[in-house]
Amino acid sequence: MIKIKTAVLVGMALFTAVSCTNSKVGTTKIASEKKDNLAGLKLPFKMPEIQIPIFKADTLNIVDFGAVPNTEQLCTNAINTAIEKCSQSGGGVVVIPSGLWTTGPIKMKSNVNLHTQNGAFISFTSDLKQYKLIESYFEGSKVIRCESPIMGIDLENIAITGEGIFDGNGAKWRPVKIGKMTAGQWDELVKSGGVLSKDGKIWYPSKGAYLGNEEKDKLPKRQTVENMEPYKEALRPVMVNFVNCKKLLLDGVTFQNSPAWNVNPLMCEHLTLRNLTIRNPWYSQNGDGLDLESCRIGSVTNCRFDVGDDAICIKSGKDKEGRDRGKPTEFFVITDCVVYHAHGGFTIGSEMSGGVKNIYAKNLTFNGTDCGLRFKSVRGRGGVVENIWMEDIRMNNIPTDAINFNLYYFGKSLTEDKETGEVAVAKEPVSEETPAFKNMYFKNIYVNGASQAMKIMGIPEMPVANIQFENMIIRADVGIQMNYASKIDFKGLDLRLDKPGIAVSFSNSQNVNIEGFKSTGENQMFWVGGTATKDITLNSEGKKMIWDKDVKVLEAVKNEVKIN
């Protein structure tokens, strides 16, 4: 089993532009912070020190470069010229004062801290002609895509800080599905313009967006920046995209209303993300919050998420391209974050072909998040997810599963037994395309209401393996279901069902130990099935279990089950 070290953890902006040329607004605190924010943590793995960017006190104000607030006049040139001049002179701070600013894509440069004052509202233009097509990445693959509203490539020592708001004007980019809106909302959306899909169930903001999504058979087979121009309105960028950068700080600001994913560092090292608010409409297609992709060494602290897809996402490339890249996401500490609406509160996958390892998460709160802890992949991805620690996780009002492992994501639909949740899947040969999830530790998990407590769907050739659960109190409608899992330990599980049913059922699993189990509300404690099941030990705290009443077992594997 995993050897775990003891881990103890101790409405709109103002409209007045304030010129602060040559002042040191926002620089003193940042320049003095040379240490990372992991002091006092006792981590279960050796964590490299996170390098925090440091900046000169030199300060430039975008107003002095021609930026005009509170109009629709584009400030693109003023912002980017200020950033360029700051970088060329050795670095420093570029200030965006309070006010309403409209801009095209912002191009970050090395040694620059883009600092936003309280009251600064930066709106990215709805004129999509301002966003050039470039060779980029999306969902783990190289693609032709529009350039991001905020972007940096091959940079070092960079930051976006302050109390300002960056708004991606995502409604000008995103399709909307009818199932995510009320009838009244849908009617208003359709009346606003745009184009409906052939079946009338998807609204597109423009004809170009429609063509790129609904008539994919007409897209060029060999895509280039030039031949994809007619379809560019469908090629939504992520909002904040840093590629192959080192020493990145995002602190204090709000990123909201993105065209696709919101914040997406890719192949970056030494990241510090703290005190962020990341927001997208709940209906936003591909509206992820934070996607850490093939990144190394960093922390995410005291951030708030309210988004349209997964909130805190760990990724590392997709299928062969991700495996060939060979860059796992590793050495991250994620603490003190809150997630409201999202598909998954904390997610690993499904693009995890380069691997994920050495991730520590503590003190996370999910309130109304569709799923709490979400781990997903599918045959063909490959990649290994291992050495994941999660402690002190609180969930409230989870509409689906509190904890979910699904290794059939986007795969063939499975037929489940309606009562037990058992599935039978044909075993395939293990290859580089076989995904693996193993060596994970969950401690102090508290759930106040979920549709299902936990669901593990492994694959027979590579079961979800070596997982420890300790000290869990979960209130849910449905209990725990496991298929194709191995070396699973529960210690101190208190399960409270709001609907009668089986508390814990599992099939085709091996080396399962449940110790100190308590449950209420069930009409049966355990069900064990699957002809591949072996070595099961069940212990109920304060209650002597009775065969065929509290514990029902498939006759063929009854000798493999011990109760005490």
Residue 263 pLDDT: 98
Measured distance CA(456)–CA(453) in Å, rounded? 10
Q: How far is CA 408 from the centre of its chain?
A: 18
CA torsion angle 453 395 345 353 (round to 10): -40
| Residues lower than pLDDT 50 in the chain | 1-34
Three state DSSP letters for 428-469:
CCCCCCCCEEEEEEEEEEEEEEEEEEEEEECECCECEEEEEE
- Residue 158 CB neighbours (<10 A): 26
Q: Residue 157: what pLDDT?
A: 98
φ/ψ of residue 460, rounded to 5: -60, -35
Nearest Cα residue to 79 out of 89, 71, 70, 69: 69
Give pLDDT, residue 347: 98
pLDDT score recorded for residue 38:
82
**pLDDT in the model for residue 415:** 82
Rounded CA separation 410/403 (Å):
18
Q: Are 338 and 365 in contact (CB under 8 A)?
A: yes
In whole angstroms, what separates CA 502 from the centre of its chain? 31
Neighbours of 230 (CB within 10 A): 14
Residue recorded with tokens 């693609």: 143
pLDDT value, residue 10:
27
Which residue's structure tokens are 């996370």?
364
What pLDDT score was predicted for residue 13?
Answer: 30
What DSSP string runs through 226-281?
A: TTTGGGGGG-PPPSEEEES-EEEEEES-EEES-SS-SEEEES-EEEEEES-EEE--
**436's tokens:** 């693996």
- What was the pLDDT predicted at 417? 83
Give the span between the Cα atoms of 53 and 273, in whole angstroms.
12
Global pTM reads 0.92
pLDDT tens, residue by residue, 285-319: 999 999 999 999 999 999 999 999 999 999 999 99
d(CA 425, CA 125): 50
Q: How far is CA 4 from CA 332, 387, 388, 391, 393, in A?
A: 17, 10, 11, 12, 17
Pair 167, 125: CB distance under 8 Å: no
pLDDT of residue 5: 34
Q: Is the peptide bond before 350 cis (omega within 30 degrees of 0)?
A: yes
Q: CB atoms < 10 A from the CB of 431, how many?
A: 10
Place of tokens 């095209």: 104
- How many other CB atoms are there within 10 angstroms of residue 221's CB atom? 5
